Amino acid sequence: MALIWWNRALRISIAAGLMIAFWGASPVGTPSLAQSPTTSPSASYDESIRALQYYRYKRVAESGPERGRELYYFKCWQCHNEFQKTAPQLKGLYQHERLMSGQPVNDETISEKVKNGGPWMPSFRHQLSDADVADVVSFVREKCCWDPENPPPNPQYHASPVPTLEPENGNVRGGPWGFVRSAGGAPARAVRGGVEGVSEGRPLEGIMVQLRGQQSNITTTVYTDEKGRFEFPKLRAGPYTLRIVRALEFRPYQRLSVAIDGSASRLEDIALERVTSGEFVPANWDIAAQLAGAEMVWNLDGTAQEKRTFSYGCGSGCHTYGQILRNRFDERSWRLIVTKMTHWTGSLLLFEAVPNRIPAEEQDIIVKWLAKVRGPDSKDMGYQLLPAPRGPATKAVITEYELPRLVTAPHDVAPDSRGNIWFNSHRTAYIAKLDPRTGIVEEYKVPSTPGANPGQHWITVDKNDKVWFSENWSHKLGSFDPKYQEFKHVQLPHFGRPINAPGAGNLALAPDGYIWEARAGAVNKIDPQTGQTVNKFLLQKVKSAYGNELSADGNYFAGGSWPEDWMIFVDIRKGEVFELQTRTPRTAPKRGGFDPEGNAWFGGAGGLLVKIDAKTHQVSEYRPPTPGVSFYECLPDKNGEIWAGALYAGRIVRFNPKTDRWTEYVLPEPVSHDRRTWIDNSTDPVTIWYVDHDGIMVRIQPLE
């Protein structure tokens, strides 16, 4: 388990890098500067590593218009989508003779506009290199604009993959194994005049060892124990890539073609060389790209108040910390970005937030802190790493599945009776089904509503294998029958919200087939065939719930009312409604579920787990070992243990409330953007599934 080893407050998030508004006067152009923290690689990391591709906007393509598509999505789309009224549309831009500034339309003038910005547009000259700008311009010229009906394919996904994992249930051991140790002979630095010499080789605990078969969609990661020993599940014979993952205090280690013979054979021992004899690792871009968000914030300059203000104002779970901290802007540009993000709502940023999400004085703190730590001339010092996993936290197998499309913002997961895992997309027109035995994904395109951006929020599968989902931007309830390949849509109440404002988010499906949602000052029971409210429980204090949860027997409803600090608990049989406030300000409970004793649990965006006692209605709060995290949700398993993704820490947490014991499973990727967990209670120990916002399906199999 991870230990508490610092006192600084952390956490952040804000969709940095937005707007390319082609209007207003342009300041004098300056040469583009390098990306942060530095551009010199630390050694020889394989740049196909997902975290490195994400950091440099190279997941879709290495260069050209397709890479420009990815850059456009992160830098331009929020302001230049087809529904925006505050910025010009860029589709067909090259068919016009002149920009709104009067300059001619050509690659040079558009490049300068991107670099220099305007009165309402940030300047990208400190963030994007000349090559980056050229890729964006080529996309605007040749393929503009972003199309949520057709997001880009994932080059790492194989439509006909080669199976690697043996499909038997409970396959967590019995495959290739080996040992990892530190390499001896490196100079050991003396401290305060102490003994100098050479380091000794010794077993390394908590090192993540990873295998991925060639032409496979499946990557398997295991951990070393206290003796430095690791053991994989049973794997099929074939060539694999072996990699040590995120052991950033050591030099990169990778073998591109390791022959696995399908047996429990011993692999060649692995000796890792330290990057430095000191306690800090170099602040190079390829190391920064592999740090978890909370890890990065811990290393940045600033007070606890600055970091906490930043985290609460921006860290609600809409995106990763890396989406912000890989950027460089001057203070004027950061102010434009923060203002846009905090004054407008939804992925499309179309509607003004009333009231504003954070007070003006806190917004100013965020802007000035960002300008300080991610300004044009900001430099990071050496990084101190979060503790590696130890003991129980090394007893797990992590399996990652590639998905066929990128930048779709996957949101929720749900199983069907055939062992498939369904998931949805928050910003595109697809739901999909993963077969975990093969790694093959089947996609189903959801019919779009004219005038509404496609995208879903919540997804579940009923006892008849019908898939239900909410369409957040069109405010509809959708269903899909896989047997007949048939979609149906029912319009839900708008509750006073316009199309493309968040409207149909996290719903709950009752055992009797009705839909439940707390909105407009009431807990509403909705007929899924008509979309009409058939019953309601009025609320006195709370207006709505972000998370809507029902107990397995359908007798209790509970909801977390983020961004407020309230929760709802309803005894449906008795008609009793309880509105309960958290003890800690800005706990911000969101989504959750019920434990076997009927208690309701919620993950709080403020970084706490929260419980409502079903009998006493007392509220209890629990703080995880790693500070600076946020929770989008949490879910109890059959044993009463609580599981949640520690957003921005690259960890999945497991909490036993009976023993007050926390276990944190460090993930191979520096993200843990888990917005809905599914727990397979049929296995022993239980199995955890979630789909990451970054675009991978993840399975966690604890060994104990």
616-634 mean pLDDT: 96
Q: Map out the domains of the chain with their CATH numbers.
A: 50-153+285-367 (1.10.760.10)
Q: Which pLDDT score is estimated for 186? A: 63
pLDDT > 50? residue 7: no
Q: What percent of the chain has pLDDT over 90?
A: 82
pLDDT digits (tens, 9 = 90+) for 393-408: 999 999 999 999 999 9
- CB-neighbour burial class of residue 185 (10 A; exposed 0-12, middle 13-18, buried 19+): exposed
- CB-neighbour burial class of residue 452 (10 A; exposed 0-12, middle 13-18, buried 19+): middle
Which segment of 43-57, 141-155, 547-561, 626-640 scores lowest on mean pLDDT?
43-57
pLDDT > 50? residue 257: yes
Mean pLDDT of the chain: 90
pTM (2 d.p.): 0.92
- Cα–Cα distance measured from residue 526 to residue 516, given in angstroms and rounded to the nearest whole number: 6
- Indicate the pLDDT class of residue 3, thresholds 50, 70 and 90: very low
357-383 mean pLDDT: 95
pLDDT > 90? residue 201: no
pLDDT > 70? residue 452: yes
Sequence-distant (≥ 6) Cβ neighbours of residue 645 within 8 angstroms: 631, 632, 633, 651, 652, 653, 672, 673, 674, 675, 677, 690
Concatenating the DSSP letter of every residue in 200-245 gives: PP-B-SS-EEEEEETT-SEEEEEE--TTSEEEEEPB-SEEEEEEEE
Q: Which residues pair with 98 in a beta bridge?
A: 104
Q: Which pLDDT score is estimated for 420? A: 98
pLDDT > 80? residue 415: yes
Concatenating the DSSP letter of every residue in 38-104 gives: -SS-SS---TTSHHHHHHTT-SS-SSSHHHHHHHHHHHTTTTSSTT-SSS---TTGGGSSB-TTS-B
